[in-house]
Amino acid sequence: MVEPPIHHIYYHGCNHHGFGDDHAHDSPVGARWFDIWGTGWHKIHEGVMGLPKIYPLADTSNLNTYQWPDPDDERICGAIYQTAAQQLAEDRFLTGHHRDTLWEKAYMLVGMENLMVYFYTEPAFARDVLHGIMDFQMGVAEHYLNAGVDFVKLSDDLGIQNAPLLNPRTVNEFLVPEYRRLFNLYKRYGVLIDFHSCGHIEPFIDMFIELGVDILNPLQATANDLSRIRHRTQRRMALRGGISSAIVMNGPVERIDAEVHHRIWQLGQEGGYFCGPDQSLPYPQAHLNALYEAIERHGSYPLIPPDPEQ
């Protein structure tokens, strides 16, 4: 596959870095550190990001003295401009990242169970935390725009395997008003938005469309009715992913080829589909090669339907 000239830029801390050491999501197993938000991390599994273990806002009273990270801090925003400056003007397609955009950053600060309870028992506190997080993301967005981004990636996992992780009413009441601030800013400047959300996210499809998501990923195959999602999003929102991570991981290559053929036919007949795995995992290289070859083989128009007996 020929990769497009996409250049990724990140603020310092986007991938769970702290200020005092080099630890982050790719640290060695056993590492413990604090990120720029004061969340304490522990890397437990190889190939998987660390887990938050210490939550600076677990106690609601801590919000009174909590020091929010400053997006204008040179230690945070400087990395954006340093990376952007390294790209040639004629070869620039800059992609800015807002990892853990809102919901995930909130539970990394408060604790997931705590936050779910606070939505009901301390709604003002929950709103203040979400607003503070989005204030930071808005500040980062201004730096990304100054650097000239064409594309941004946002992420919040809103589903589990067979249901939403949060009640859609809670998402609409607490998260959507804050999402809208960031989406509206980028839309004013014509920046494309890719939104990552794992799990069963069908109940949020209309929300994603209304907010202005341009590309939705990873489109987890085992957690959603992909035909239904394609029907609701065709010509309104592009889809990325959709290839079962279990099939890519376990193979064999013949099954990978059949899966790719099926998903391209199912999701790509009218365009608007970027074929790929529905999760980022340490796949066997031979299986990745088979995946890329299958996309090349089946992804050219006019599409050929798969054999129904395969």
Domain range enclosing 135: 7-16+68-217
Q: Two tokens at 145? A: 């725009």
pLDDT for 2: 43
Classify residue 30: in a domain, yes or no.
no
CATH code (residue 186):
3.20.20.210
Classify residue 197: in a domain, yes or no.
yes
Classify residue 1: in a domain, yes or no.
no
Per-residue pLDDT 10s for the chain (310 aa) are 345 568 899 999 999 999 977 788 788 899 999 999 999 999 998 877 889 999 999 999 999 999 999 999 999 999 999 998 887 666 678 999 999 999 999 999 999 999 999 999 999 999 999 999 999 999 999 999 999 999 999 999 999 999 999 999 999 999 999 999 999 999 999 999 999 999 999 999 999 999 999 999 999 999 999 999 999 999 999 999 999 999 999 999 999 999 999 999 999 999 999 999 998 888 999 999 999 999 999 999 999 999 876 6
Buried b / exposed e over 104-123, threshold 16 CB at 10 Å, is: bbbbbbbbeebbbebbeebe
Q: Decide the pairing of beta strands 40-42 and 51-54.
A: antiparallel
pLDDT for 301: 94
Classify residue 264: in a domain, yes or no.
no
Classify residue 249: in a domain, yes or no.
no
DSSP state of 18: -
Q: Tell me the Ramachandran region of residue 170: left when phi exceeds 0, alpha when psi lies from -120 to 50, beta otherwise.
A: alpha
Distance CA 281, CA 288 (A): 11
Classify residue 106: in a domain, yes or no.
yes
**Distances 3 to 7, 148, 213 between C-alpha atoms, Å:** 11, 21, 23
Classify residue 193: in a domain, yes or no.
yes
pLDDT for 6: 81
pLDDT for 47: 74
pLDDT for 1: 39
Looking at the structure of the chain, the number of domains it has is 1
Coil, helix or strand for 306?
Answer: coil
Distance CA 75, CA 73 (A): 5
Which alpha helices (H) appear in the chain, and where do they start and end? 74-85, 103-110, 112-121, 123-147, 168-170, 176-188, 205-211, 226-233, 245-250, 253-267, 285-298
Contacts of residue 57, Cβ cutoff 8 Å, sequence gap at least 6: 63, 66, 109, 110, 129
Classify residue 114: in a domain, yes or no.
yes
pLDDT for 23: 80
